[in-house]
Amino acid sequence: MTDQEVIARTAAFVKAELENAEGGHDWWHIERVRNNAKTIARMEPANPFIVELGALLHDIADSKFNNGDETIGVEKAQAFLRSLLVDESVTEHICKIIENISFKGGNVKTDFFSMEFAVVQDADRLDAMGAIGIARAFNYGGFKGRELYNPTIKPMDGMTKEQYKSSTAPTINHFYEKLLLLKDRMNTETGRRMAEQRHQFMVEYLSQFFREWDGIASR
């Protein structure tokens, strides 16, 4: 099977797996991350085949969709890639990428690194920023029944994985607890440049949000 065929089969597999996923994590998230990843990979020394496969499969292991179990998705991806007779070294690499990709609160560092992982993680982080990131945050908050904002509930610093997962704070807090931190966590130069612009857009969005919240008239 050619690399292009493997990619096409994987895309179809992921699309079917995510059929019933909620809006922030649906197939279109995967498609956007894939596009971000391809853009970054063109500028960085990363294997484009592994990057694209990694982007396609990166959320298949999301524990939110597997009753909190973080291993099910990796096993699913592994079984799928083996069924296509993809090189075992590529399959192992993809499994490492999906195991290590998700944001686990501010303090947790992972020990795995590869250029391909760096690119996919940047691509995923970019989709949590900017106009799309804002839309996803409020979509997630609505899905969870959160308030948009509550001036009496302050954002928290340096949350643990447990605090991050169990937070019921208003959606605006999520900007301070995660989204505005992302630009300084980018792995690649290209990712950092793309993040800068999306970061700036969120900063402007928040300042407008608070002006409107306080009923300040625009000039």
Provide the binding-site residues for Ni ion, judged by CB under 5 A.
59, 124
Q: Which is nearer to ligand ADP, 59 or 116 (CB)?
A: 59
Classify residue 111 by its DSSP letter: S
The least distance separating Ni ion from the CB of residue 33, rounded to whole angstroms, comes to 6
61 interacts with, out of Ni ion, ligand ADP, none, CB within 5 to 8 A per kind = none
CA distance 38 to 53: 11
Nearest of 188, 199, 46, 177 to residue 123 by alpha carbon: 188
The least distance separating Ni ion from the CB of residue 133, rounded to whole angstroms, comes to 11
141 interacts with, out of ligand ADP, Ni ion, none, CB within 5 to 8 A per kind = ligand ADP
DSSP-assigned letters across all residues of 37-65: HHHHHHHTT--HHHHHHHHHHTTTT-GGG
Q: Three-state SS for 136?
A: helix
Q: Which is nearer to ligand ADP, 34 or 178 (CB)?
A: 178
Is there a contact between 100 and 117 (Cβ–Cβ < 8 Å)?
A: yes
73 interacts with, out of Ni ion, ligand ADP, none, CB within 5 to 8 A per kind = none
CA distance 107 to 38: 28
The least distance separating Ni ion from the CB of residue 88, rounded to whole angstroms, comes to 25
The least distance separating Ni ion from the CB of residue 216, rounded to whole angstroms, comes to 36
Q: Which is nearer to Ni ion, 120 or 169 (CB)?
A: 120
H helix runs in 44-143, sequence order = 48-57, 72-83, 88-100, 115-126, 130-143
The Cα angle at residue 157 between residues 150 and 65, in degrees rounded to 5: 80
Q: Which is nearer to ligand ADP, 9 or 21 (CB)?
A: 21
CA distance 145 to 170: 9
Q: Which is nearer to ligand ADP, 24 or 54 (CB)?
A: 24
Residues within the interface to ligand ADP (CB under 6 A): 24-25, 59, 102-103, 124, 128, 133, 136-137, 140-141, 167, 171, 174, 178-179
CA distance 129 to 148: 17
The least distance separating ligand ADP from the CB of residue 4, rounded to whole angstroms, comes to 27
Q: Which is nearer to ligand ADP, 114 or 139 (CB)?
A: 139
The least distance separating ligand ADP from the CB of residue 92, rounded to whole angstroms, comes to 22
